[in-house]
Every structure is written in structure tokens, then in C-alpha cells.
Amino acid sequence: MSGARIHVDLAVVGGGSGGLAAAFRAANHGARVALLEPGELGGTCVNVGCVPKKAMWLAADLGARIGLAQALGFPVEPACPDWETLVASRQRYIANIHASYRKRLDEAGIVRLPARGRLAGDGLVECDDGTQLQAAHILLATGGSPVRPDIPGVELGIDSDGFFALSAAPRRVAIIGGGYIGVELAGVMQGLGCQVELFVRGDSLLKGFDPDVVERLQGNMHQSGIALHFGYSLAALEAGGDSDGVRLRERDGDAGEPFDAVILATGRRPNTDGLGLEAAGVRVADDGRIEVDGFQSTSAEQIYAVGDVTGRLALTPVAIAEGRRLMDRVFGGEPGACVDHGNVPTVVFSHPPLGRVGLTEAEARERFGGDAVSCHRTTFRPMLHALADVQQHSMFKAVCVGEEKRVVGLHLVGEAADEILQGFAVAVKMGATLADFHATVAIHPTSAEEIVLLR
């Protein structure tokens, strides 16, 4: 392909969740599509995000269940998994996804270019292998990358990409950052037999989630043996001296004992470097994200962006939905097609998982006024944990508005919260009231029934 100029209806820059979904949908509408991806197909989610994370989470969850099984009389001993076997099975799963994408792209007639692209103006996309794409429409779906704090010794740490490249389990691990990734990796690594300490700047984990369920999660994480350090200000990473380890130095404090690995989970930023955005007239916000309107259009004609590069909700299903709806609009004859970013459910794959859909109590009070809001909570021990006499509790909370008690927020933490939330998200999106929940007969005995029984 090198040196060739290819004419297409759509050039997709980035073959992650959003780019692939858009490419398939556009091809389905009859468009001629080319997709540029210099790395593995599937982007962050498939290669260094949701998929490998969930594989490790499932393994950690299994480990906890071996302990529960033992308590119920099964003749088994909790043990750490063989890391190599676990990673090999994870990577086999991912290789199958790559193969499936390649096959689907070929079947859809989408031109696949293993190259990095940049905008060259007037509908032209230049690829780093010399190919030029002349496109009627261009979609930017370049995702994001981890950011590291600007401190001395930062290169001694690894980020989430580095976590997925580990060839063995570290014994002692420090994780910096109390967002999604910090919390998820803390639970995963503790569950896989590492000794985890989580260092957080603020006074709680998961800012933006409902504080009641977060507090319950913190209790469960502490119970599982994770050491939580709040109000921690990291000043530097230092080589561990005689050992191979890495020490954390706190601002105005001492460097502690060395860790075998330090994971920096301090946020992500959109991938826009070298994309030629300015010259093409694509406006970039101060924080580096590509600005788009509600229809995914950028400030430049016929150039669109979806997913993490737009810096809105950095979730795979959001990137996919944005890509599909955009292509329904551009090639599918649906001029009003766009994504409703309200009531998007999300789950943090902590141990146990924590999920939300809709507003937190504080957000509801601000939007509707304090008097209009009522909250309904339950805390309980799931049956399996009670049987095994494990002190892990679930907490479910509904935030309701008005006399009719419309449910505007649902916040769950506890076993199976990840699977329970999806169906209830449909109900919240449809405007269900607490009375609708009560009118639904419970499924007994389950954790989910606690939601339709909330008082």
C-alpha cells in the first residue's frame, strides 16, 4: 500500500472500541471505509484495559471463592495462581478477539492499514507508511494513554500498561491513585496473593461516586488486607538501595520500605500528539481533549471524534455507542442520531464490585433541591458470605425525587453488583419510581431482590 492514494467515504483513525464500532456500522450502511491502527486491533479495552483487567479480576474472584468453598467444607486450600498460566490464558482470549476482528473487517470489505495517521487538510489523511487516504469524512478515535506525575524517579514505577506486561506477581505492591484503575488493580493484586498498599491524595477513594457506597467499599478493601493511605502526597520514587525494590518518598516525609512494584494509576489523557489537529482546524480544549458537540462533530467540517479522545465518559460502551450513532447519522439517513450521555451505568471492578447509574445524593440535592430528595438504603451480608462467616457486606442505595419517588440514582456495592446493575439501569433510564420497584415481585433468595424491597 505504501505510497498509494486511496479514496474512501470514511477514514477511521484508531482501531479501538469506538473506531472499530464506527467502521463496521459505516460499512454496514454501504460506505467505503479505511481503518488505521498501528497497534493491536481493539485498542485499550481489548489489549490493556477492560478485557485483560476482567480476566485478572475473575481469577482474583475465584481465589476468594476457594476460601469460601473451604469454609463450607470443600477440601481445598486457598493458594496463589500460577501467574504464567493465568496470563497465557488471558492472552489466548485476547488473541481470539484479534482474529475475530480481522475476519470481520475483511468480510466487511474495510481496508485495514497498520499505520499511524495524521490530518493533512482537505480530507487527506497521511499515514506513516506513506499511504494517503482521501476521505469524504474522517473519524478521530485515537483514545488515551496513562499519565504519570511529574516527580523525580517516576520512571521507576509502572502504569496500567506495565501491569499487564508483568511476567510474575510482585510480592509487595504500592498503587498510587484512588480512581477506577487504582481501586481495580488494588483488589485484583490483593486477590492474586500480593500484599497491596494503596496511596491516595484525597480523603476517600473514587471521587464522584456516592460516598456511602464508597465508604462501604473501603471497609471491605480494608477487611481483605489492603492498606489504605489517605492524604498521601507522593514526592518521589527512589531505588530501594540493596534490594531491587522501589521506595516511595512522601512530601516532607521519609522514604518507606521498598516495594517490588509501584503502579502509577494517576489518570489518563487523550492521544492527540502529532495528529495535525491545529492545521486541520480541529479545536482542542486546554486539557487536551478534542472538543465535540452532541453529534460528535469537531470544529472542522466532516471531521468527527468519538471515545476517550473527547475526554467525556471514558467507557468502552460509550465509545461504541458514539461511533455507531455517528455513522447512523452520516451514512444511515438518521440526521438526529446521537448518544444520550445521561444515566450511563458504570461499574468499578473492585472486590466487591461497585456500580452506579444516575445521580449521587449530592447531585440530586443540587439539581432538585434538598427537600425533594429521599434516599433508601440497605446493608446486608450476602448469603454465601453469611454461610462462610465472612464479614463482607453489600450496600444498595436508591436516590429518589419528588412525591412519586422517581429513582434518579442507584448505587450498589457488593457481590454481583456488576451483573445486577444493568437491568436496573434500564428501569432508571425509563423513569421508574420506587413504587414500580415495589410492584415487581422479588426473586428469592438473591442479593438483587434487596433493590425491589428497599424501604
Ligand X SMILES: Cc1cc2nc3c(=O)[nH]c(=O)nc-3n(C[C@H](O)[C@H](O)[C@H](O)COP(=O)(O)OP(=O)(O)OC[C@H]3O[C@@H](n4cnc5c(N)ncnc54)[C@H](O)[C@@H]3O)c2cc1C
Given ligand NAD, ligand X, none, residue 382, with its beta carbon under 5 to 8 Å by kind, binds none
Q: In what order do the strands lie in the sheet with 373-380?
A: 346-348, 354-358, 406-413, 394-401, 373-380
User: Quick check: 357 binds ligand NAD (CB under 6 A)?
Assistant: no
Q: How far apart are CA 364 and CA 376, in angstroms?
A: 14
Cβ closest to ligand X, residue 35 vs residue 398? 35
Given ligand NAD, ligand X, none, residue 265, with its beta carbon under 5 to 8 Å by kind, binds ligand NAD
Total chain residues near ligand NAD (CB under 6 A) = 21
Query: For residues 188 and 373, is the Cβ–Cβ distance under 8 A?
Result: no
Given ligand X, ligand NAD, none, residue 36, with its beta carbon under 5 to 8 Å by kind, binds ligand X
Query: For residues 138 and 11, is the Cβ–Cβ distance under 8 A?
Result: yes
Place of cell 457481590: 415
Sign of CA dihedral 416, 417, 423, 427: positive
What grid cell was written down for 223? Answer: 477487611
What grid cell was written down for 339? Answer: 448518544
Pairing status of strand 303-305 against strand 117-119: unpaired
Applying CB under 6 A, among 29, 32, 172, 201 the residue interacting with ligand NAD is 201
Query: For residues 334 and 328, is the Cβ–Cβ distance under 8 A?
Result: yes
Given ligand NAD, ligand X, none, residue 38, with its beta carbon under 5 to 8 Å by kind, binds ligand X
User: Quick check: 160 binds ligand X (CB under 6 A)?
Assistant: yes
User: Quick check: 8 binds ligand X (CB under 6 A)?
Assistant: no
Query: Which residues ranging from 296 to 335 are in contact with ligand X (CB under 6 A)?
Result: 307-309, 314-317, 319
User: Quick check: 17 binds ligand NAD (CB under 6 A)?
Assistant: no
Tell how far CA 92 is from the center of its chain: 21
Judged by DSSP in three states, 17 sits in: helix
User: Quick check: 54 binds ligand NAD (CB under 6 A)?
Assistant: no
User: Quick check: 312 binds ligand NAD (CB under 6 A)?
Assistant: no
Q: Residue 217 CB, nearest distance to ligand NAD (Å)?
A: 13
Q: How far apart are CA 83 and CA 2, in angstroms?
A: 41
What grid cell was written down for 68? Answer: 469460601
What grid cell was written down for 80? Answer: 496463589
Sign of CA dihedral 288, 294, 295, 297: negative
Cβ closest to ligand NAD, residue 178 vs residue 352? 178
Query: For residues 232 and 239, is the Cβ–Cβ distance under 8 A?
Result: no
229 among known catalytic residues: no
Given ligand NAD, ligand X, none, residue 266, with its beta carbon under 5 to 8 Å by kind, binds ligand NAD
Cβ-Cβ contacts under 8 Å for 206 (sequence gap 6 or more)? 178, 179, 180, 183, 214, 217, 348, 354
Q: Residue 90 CB, nearest distance to ligand NAD (Å)?
A: 16
Q: Residue 116 CB, nearest distance to ligand X (Å)?
A: 4
Q: How far apart are CA 438 and CA 418, in angstroms?
A: 22
User: Quick check: 317 binds ligand NAD (CB under 6 A)?
Assistant: no
**Element at 124 (helix H, strand E):** strand 124-127
Instruction: Give the contact letters, 165-184, x = binds to ligand NAD (CB under 6 A), - = no.
Output: -----------xxxxxxx-x
- Give the CA distances from residue 432 to residues 45, 50, 428, in Å, rounded to whole numbers and listed in that order: 32, 30, 5
Instruction: Give the contact letters, 342-381, x = binds to ligand X (CB under 6 A), - = no.
Output: -------x--------------------------------
Cβ closest to ligand X, residue 36 vs residue 339? 36
Instruction: Give the contact letters, 260-299, x = binds to ligand NAD (CB under 6 A), - = no.
Output: -----xxxx-------------------------------
Catalytic residue among 29, 137, 229, 444: 444
Which residues are catalytic, by number? 444
* Residues at the interface with ligand X (CB under 6 A): 13-19, 36-39, 43-45, 49-50, 53, 116-117, 141-144, 160, 181, 271, 275, 307-309, 314-317, 319, 349
